[in-house]
């Protein structure tokens, strides 16, 4: 009975809070009693739309925020006031977990995009859960922004869900004692300068500090970071003893600890250098970097592997690891623009390595060439499903003999390259837009001629070609060839209003998805009935718009976000339209990536068809907002190229 | 005790709680920032609206401090009515007669509630009705009425609506309802089960928080601002 609930621990917790916690991860794993206890420690706050909740690097977190109703955006703002949108979070999502776990101020700006109610869970209680509830630490690993954490999480998932290859499970099989490097230490009375010199000599990022008399007694640790912040930045005298800047006492782990547990400790404490102890003695130091290098799924690791590969066949399995790496990045919450850039970089390196090794195998080409990437590859906007779209441009041969030599060489070269690319997991282009097609393996002068023709006679096929080919960029080889072609294009296309008129009209043929079925326009019939084609209906209008204006105003960029930014900087589009379009475009990219990732994880071939029923209310509303931007873009084109 | 010749004994002296309560609000300052106050959002369930016959059978309340709902400070109590026969006939609530039979009488509950309120401001949806019944009970049980200033969320909502529509004239041109449930729907607030004193108090607390922060975002920073600009009504009941 009873119920003056003020200080009565036996009081019944409000149902609303308990029900809320039961509905969200990872709280749903807790038993009723724990939830009741949590609920009694919560507060509920309301933030009207447009309220700044957290400010990056400034706000100290006293609570974890759990969104009950509404939504927030997470963004960063640099010194010039430039805003980078990182994330939208809706009902059930949390804010501030990372900062609380690390004990740092907020790492992102958080602002409500709707009227938002939050449950506030006190910091200490949240930390207590992280420590005591196994599932909690694992769950919040995902939101850590360091790559290291993402890979750890992936490992965890493999471990739990589908343990496949043993080499994937380093984190769970290797003990830190096996990783530890030679112990480097210095006496506490040594000067800072001596310590720094020592670190340079041995190329280490940290140094243990031992007692002056007892060399085995470790009293502290000094890191690169200490030298930077406590000495150089603070203007400290280099002659001071190193003991003045060391961190003491040293945090230690046992040599038999699993790498995974050590990683957890590093993340929980924010300390990335731990001393390793065996039989009561310090035997060395382990850093987060050492553990990261173990990981097969960090982009950095893959990048190194690709660069070091000496056999083309050795690249096949590496290329097929790319989705794994990307999955990690998405899980980590990286934004779509960065993710597609990363995909492009990794794909470029695969390509570069294949062609380099191929040149070694076949001998140097008779004339310089450049491997062109077209379409979405040209725009650095590939996702998981990427057909090949490529071509070869080579230097104009000086005579008939060289012409024949080039033709023969590049024909064989392209055939082999395309073959290797297929083996790496890049499917053939159904439209034959590949370097193996004789049409698209041509010298510079022929390419110029192609481009001139398409601009001058914008018939449907020519228009289609221009859409794919004008997004070209250099993938490998003599970049100058691509640059010259771009310069030629920009020169020739200026003032070709008939071409632009048709390009703009073509762009506007894609309907703005504003008539809604369950709030959404969807395909009316066929296999993907009741689904939204996010690429064709959502993203393509942005891509097309950016292309029309980029070509019109001589912008060299091919990436849609980069084109939009350049157009804004050139004041060809308004700043407000730029930010709306960039946000809308990136949000949809994110949706598409997450959608494809889910498909890959369930073993389905990735596509672009989203079922609106799978989206949360907030996601739906945000997509709807994104679509309204398309209408504005069309408005700009309409005014520029009206049908008289 | 009672002596007809000594007017001082005509009425029993008020309960010490009432004394403290009066003292706390004797020099009440409205000009402080909103964050300085604590609020108790409450709702009562009644056997009916007849002031003579009907009584309170349930009180639900939740505390707001730092302009946040504190789930660690909630109050929910059923009250055994004196006339249980009459009650059974009129119940529209979720409360079962059994629960009421087992509940403590208002002589126990009311002092606990007054203690829970402490120096907080009272908040309620159509607060006048709740206060009327609470003060009736307080007079009986504690020998005096409550001095806590009150805020009515219904009038706040009317004020908010005037701001939204830009109509500041006295006449209400609003066709829809100011019922708690309808307002909650209109403002997209999380919904609670109606006709339960505690759930209604929570619903009212959400509404209050919503309106208060909307007003605050509009630049109304003190309690006085809310009273005046929001035209929340009389401070005293």
Could you tell me the strand order of the sheet in which B39-46 lies?
A94-95, A63-69, A116-122, A43-47, B68-78, B56-65, B39-46, B121-124, B150-152
Q: Tell me which residue of A54, A13, A61 sits closest to A37, measured CA to CA.
A: A13
Assigned token pair, A254: 């046992």
Q: What confidence tens digit (pLDDT) does each residue in A198-227 have? A: 998 888 889 999 998 888 889 999 998 899
The reply to whether B6 falls in a domain is no
The reply to whether B10 falls in a domain is no
- Identify which has the larger pLDDT, A515 or A189: A189
Q: Give the least confident one: A150-159, A186-195, A280-289.
A: A150-159
Which residue, of A234, A264, A294, is where some domain finishes? A294
The reply to whether A77 falls in a domain is yes
DSSP assignments along A321-385, one per residue: THHHHHHHHHHTT--HHHHHHHHHHHHHHHHHHHHHHHHHHH---SS-EEEEE-HHHHTT---S-
* CATH, residue A337: 3.30.460.10
| Strand bridging mode A83-89 / A72-77 | antiparallel
The answer on A318 and A286 residing in a single domain is no
Mean pLDDT on A344-361? 91
> Given the structure tokens 């036996």, which residue do they identify?
A10
Q: Give the least confident one: A318-327, B105-114, B135-144.
A: A318-327
User: How far from chain centre, in Å, is Cα A65?
Assistant: 25
Which residue, of A471, A491, A511, is where some domain finishes? A491
The reply to whether B197 falls in a domain is yes
Give the whole-angstrom CA distance, residue B201 versus residue B180: 10
pLDDT number for residue A191? 93
Q: What is the mean pLDDT of chain A?
A: 82
pLDDT number for residue A440? 96
Assigned token pair, B23: 């003292």
The answer on A525 and A412 residing in a single domain is no
pLDDT number for residue A159? 34
The answer on A565 and A608 residing in a single domain is yes
pLDDT number for residue A449? 95
Mutate to test the interface with B, among A40, A44, A52, A69 (most CBs of B within 10 A): A44
For chain B, say whether A45 makes contact (Cβ under 8 Å): yes
**pLDDT of A638 above 50:** yes
* CATH, residue B85: 3.30.420.10
Do residues A523 and A550 touch, judged by C-beta distance below 8 A? no
Is A83 buried (19+), middle (13-18) or exposed (0-12) by CB count in 10 A?
middle
Note down the domain range covering A553: 502-640
If pLDDT is split at 50, 70 and 90, which confidence band does A491 have? very high
The answer on A322 and A288 residing in a single domain is no
Listed in sequence order, the residues at least 6 apart from A254 whose beta carbon sits closer than 8 Å to its beta carbon are: A276, A277, A278
What CA–CA distances, in Å, run from B137 to B106, B107, B133?
A: 8, 9, 6
The answer on A514 and A602 residing in a single domain is yes
Write out chain A residues lying below 8 Å of B41, CB-based: none
Q: What is the CA radius of gyration of chain A?
A: 29
- Identify which has the larger pLDDT, A388 or A166: A388
- Identify which has the larger pLDDT, A298 or A68: A68
Listed in sequence order, the residues at least 6 apart from A223 whose beta carbon sits closer than 8 Å to its beta carbon are: A205, A206, A207, A247, A273
The answer on A319 and A274 residing in a single domain is no
C-beta atoms of A45 and B67 within 8 A: yes
The answer on A483 and A508 residing in a single domain is no
**pLDDT of A342 above 90:** no
> Given the structure tokens 């059994």, which residue do they identify?
B98
Chain B closest-CA separation from residue A392 CA (Å): 58
If pLDDT is split at 50, 70 and 90, which confidence band does B119 have? confident
DSSP A430: T
- Identify which has the larger pLDDT, A510 or A267: A510
The reply to whether A167 falls in a domain is no
The answer on A229 and A120 residing in a single domain is no
Mean pLDDT on A252-281? 80
Do residues B226 and B34 touch, judged by C-beta distance below 8 A? yes
pLDDT number for residue B4? 58
Give the whole-angstrom CA distance, residue A425 versus residue A600: 14
Q: Tell me which residue of A294, A289, A319 sits closest to A306, measured CA to CA.
A: A319
For chain A, say whether B164 makes contact (Cβ under 8 Å): no
The reply to whether B91 falls in a domain is yes
For chain A, say whether B112 makes contact (Cβ under 8 Å): yes
The reply to whether A441 falls in a domain is yes
Give the whole-angstrom CA distance, residue B137 versus residue A410: 98
DSSP H stretches of helix in B52-126: 84-90, 97-102, 106-117
- Identify which has the larger pLDDT, B129 or A140: B129
If pLDDT is split at 50, 70 and 90, which confidence band does B85 have? low
C-beta atoms of B209 and A45 within 8 A: yes
**pLDDT of A516 above 50:** no
The answer on A327 and A274 residing in a single domain is no
pLDDT number for residue A66? 93
C-beta atoms of A44 and B189 within 8 A: no
Give the whole-angstrom CA distance, residue B63 versus residue B178: 23
C-beta atoms of B213 and A48 within 8 A: yes
Is A445 buried (19+), middle (13-18) or exposed (0-12) by CB count in 10 A?
exposed
User: Residue B73: which of A6, A51, A115 has the nearest Cβ?
Assistant: A6
Smallest CA–CA distance from A18 into chain B, residue: B71
Note down the domain range covering B81: 33-229
pLDDT number for residue A239? 92
* CATH, residue A121: 2.60.120.10
The reply to whether B1 falls in a domain is no
pLDDT number for residue A172? 58
The reply to whether A10 falls in a domain is no
The answer on A461 and A349 residing in a single domain is yes
Backbone angles phi, psi at B43, to 5 degrees: -145, 145
**pLDDT of A374 above 50:** yes
Q: What confidence tens digit (pLDDT) does each residue in B34-64 have? A: 888 899 999 998 887 777 778 888 999 999 9
pLDDT cut 90: percent of chain A above it: 36
The reply to whether B145 falls in a domain is yes
The reply to whether B76 falls in a domain is yes
For chain A, say whether B163 makes contact (Cβ under 8 Å): no
* CATH, residue A218: 3.10.580.10
Chain A closest-CA separation from residue B210 CA (Å): 6
**pLDDT of A167 above 70:** no
Smallest CA–CA distance from A10 into chain B, residue: B72
The answer on A438 and A333 residing in a single domain is yes
C-beta atoms of B116 and A120 within 8 A: no
Write out chain B residues lying below 8 Å of A42, CB-based: 71-72
The reply to whether A549 falls in a domain is yes
- Structural domain count of chain A: 4
Helix, strand and coil in chain B, % to nearest 5: 45, 15, 40
Neighbours of A161 (CB within 10 A): 9
pLDDT cut 70: percent of chain A above it: 83
- Identify which has the larger pLDDT, A397 or A267: A397
Write out chain B residues lying below 8 Å of A4, CB-based: 75, 77, 112-113, 115-116
pLDDT number for residue B94? 64
- Structural domain count of chain B: 1
The reply to whether A497 falls in a domain is no
The answer on A416 and A361 residing in a single domain is yes
Q: Tell me which residue of B87, B133, B92 sits closest to B110, measured CA to CA.
A: B133
Give the whole-angstrom CA distance, residue A460 versus residue A457: 9
pLDDT number for residue A100? 86
Q: What is the mean pLDDT of chain B?
A: 80
The reply to whether A210 falls in a domain is yes
Which residue, of A294, A327, A345, is where some domain finishes? A294
The reply to whether A601 falls in a domain is yes
Listed in sequence order, the residues at least 6 apart from A571 whose beta carbon sits closer than 8 Å to its beta carbon are: none
Q: What confidence tens digit (pLDDT) does each residue in A538-563 have? A: 899 999 999 999 999 999 999 999 99
For chain B, say whether A24 makes contact (Cβ under 8 Å): no
If pLDDT is split at 50, 70 and 90, which confidence band does A618 have? low
Do residues A630 and A542 touch, judged by C-beta distance below 8 A? yes
Backbone angles phi, psi at A442, to 5 degrees: -140, 160
Mean pLDDT on A606-611? 83
For chain B, say whether A194 makes contact (Cβ under 8 Å): no
**pLDDT of A576 above 90:** no
**pLDDT of A300 above 80:** no
Chain A closest-CA separation from residue B107 CA (Å): 14
Q: Give the least confident one: A40-44, A257-261, A454-458.
A: A257-261
pLDDT number for residue A375? 92
The reply to whether B70 falls in a domain is yes
pLDDT cut 70: percent of chain B above it: 81
- What ipTM, to 2 d.p.? 0.84
User: How far from chain centre, in Å, is Cα A344?
Assistant: 11
Mean pLDDT on A132-144? 65
Q: What confidence tens digit (pLDDT) does each residue in B126-176 have? A: 888 888 889 888 888 888 888 888 889 988 888 887 777 665 555 555 556
């Amino acid at each position: 009975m009873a119920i003056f609930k003020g200080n009565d621990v036996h009081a019944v917790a409000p149902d609303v809070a308990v029900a809320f916690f039961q509905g969200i991860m990872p709280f749903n794993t807790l038993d009723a009693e724990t939830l009741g206890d949590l609920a009694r420690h919560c507060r509920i706050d309301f933030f009207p739309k447009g309220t700044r909740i957290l400010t990056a690097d400034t706000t100290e977190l006293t609570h974890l925020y759990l969104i009950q109703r509404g939504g927030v955006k997470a963004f960063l703002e640099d010194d010039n006031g430039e805003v980078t949108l990182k994330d939208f979070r809706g009902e059930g999502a949390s804010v501030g977990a990372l900062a609380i776990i690390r004990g740092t101020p907020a790492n992102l700006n958080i602002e409500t995009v709707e009227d938002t109610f939050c449950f506030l869970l006190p910091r200490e209680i949240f930390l207590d859960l992280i420590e005591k509830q196994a599932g909690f630490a694992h769950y919040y690993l995902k939101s850590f922004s360091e790559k290291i954490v993402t890979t750890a999480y992936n490992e965890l998932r493999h471990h739990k869900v589908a343990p496949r290859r043993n080499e994937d499970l380093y984190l769970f099989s290797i003990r830190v004692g096996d990783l530890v490097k030679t112990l480097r230490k210095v006496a506490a009375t040594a000067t800072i300068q001596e310590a720094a010199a020592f670190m340079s000599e041995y190329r280490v990022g940290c140094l243990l500090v031992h007692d002056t008399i007892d060399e085995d007694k470790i009293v502290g640790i000094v890191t690169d970071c200490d030298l930077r912040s406590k000495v150089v930045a603070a203007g400290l005298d280099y002659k001071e003893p190193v003991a003045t800047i060391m961190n003491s006492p040293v945090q230690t782990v046992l040599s038999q600890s699993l790498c995974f547990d050590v990683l957890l400790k590093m993340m929980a404490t924010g300390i990335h250098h731990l001393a390793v102890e065996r039989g009561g003695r310090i035997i060395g130091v382990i850093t987060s970097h050492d553990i990261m290098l173990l990981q097969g799924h960090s982009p950095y690791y893959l990048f190194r592997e690709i660069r070091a590969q000496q056999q083309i066949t050795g690249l096949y399995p590496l290329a097929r690891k790319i989705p794994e790496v990307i999955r990690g990045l998405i899980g980590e919450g990286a934004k779509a623009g960065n993710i597609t850039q990363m995909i492009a970089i990794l794909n470029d390196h695969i390509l570069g390595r294949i062609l380099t090794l191929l040149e070694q195998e076949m001998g140097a080409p008779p004339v310089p060439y450049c491997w062109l990437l077209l379409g979405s590859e040209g725009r650095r906007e590939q996702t998981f499903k990427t057909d090949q779209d490529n071509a070869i441009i080579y230097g104009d041969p000086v005579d008939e003999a060289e012409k024949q030599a080039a033709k023969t060489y590049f024909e064989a070269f392209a055939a082999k390259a395309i073959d290797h690319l297929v083996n790496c997991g890049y499917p053939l282009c159904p439209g034959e837009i590949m370097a193996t097609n004789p049409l698209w393996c041509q010298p510079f002068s022929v390419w110029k001629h192609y481009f001139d023709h398409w601009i001058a006679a914008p018939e449907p096929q020519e228009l289609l070609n221009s859409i794919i080919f004008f997004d070209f960029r250099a993938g490998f080889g003599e970049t100058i060839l691509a640059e010259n072609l771009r310069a030629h294009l920009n020169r020739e296309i200026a003032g070709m209003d008939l071409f632009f008129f048709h390009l703009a009209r073509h762009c506007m043929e894609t309907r703005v998805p504003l008539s809604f079925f369950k709030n959404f326009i969807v395909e009316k019939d066929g296999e993907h009935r009741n689904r939204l084609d996010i690429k064709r209906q959502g993203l393509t209008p942005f891509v097309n718009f950016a292309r029309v204006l980029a070509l019109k105003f001589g912008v060299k960029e091919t990436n849609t976000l980069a084109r939009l930014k350049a157009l804004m900087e050139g004041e060809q589009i308004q700043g407000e339209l730029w930010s709306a379009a960039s946000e809308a475009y990136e949000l949809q990219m994110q949706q598409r990536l997450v959608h494809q990732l889910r498909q890959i994880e369930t073993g389905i071939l990735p596509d672009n068809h989203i079922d609106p029923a799978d989206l949360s209310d907030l996601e739906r509303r945000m997509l709807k907002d994104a679509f309204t931007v398309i209408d504005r873009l069309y408005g700009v084109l309409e005014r520029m190229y009206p049908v008289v | 005790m009672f002596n007809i010749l000594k007017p001082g004994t005509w009425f029993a002296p008020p309960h010490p709680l009432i004394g403290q309560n009066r003292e706390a609000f004797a020099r009440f300052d409205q000009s402080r920032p909103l964050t300085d106050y604590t609020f108790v959002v409450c709702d009562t369930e009644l056997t009916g609206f007849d002031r003579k016959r009907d009584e309170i059978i349930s009180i639900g309340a939740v505390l707001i401090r730092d302009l946040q709902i504190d789930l660690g400070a909630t109050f929910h109590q059923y009250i055994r009515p004196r006339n249980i026969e009459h009650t059974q006939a009129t119940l529209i609530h979720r409360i079962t007669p059994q629960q009421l039979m087992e509940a403590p009488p208002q002589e126990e509950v009311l002092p606990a509630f007054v203690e829970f309120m402490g120096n907080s401001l009272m908040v309620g949806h159509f607060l006048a009705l709740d206060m009327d019944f609470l003060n009736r009970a307080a007079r009986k049980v504690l020998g005096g009425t409550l001095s806590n200033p009150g805020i009515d969320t219904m009038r706040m909502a009317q004020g908010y609506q005037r701001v939204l529509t830009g109509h500041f004239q006295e006449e209400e041109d609003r066709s829809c309802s100011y019922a708690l449930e309808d307002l909650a729907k209109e403002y997209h607030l999380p919904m609670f089960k109606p006709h339960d004193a505690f759930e209604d108090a929570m619903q009212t607390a959400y509404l209050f928080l919503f309106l208060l922060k909307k007003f605050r975002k509009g630049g109304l920073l003190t309690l006085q601002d809310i009273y005046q600009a929001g035209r929340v009504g009389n401070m005293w009941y």
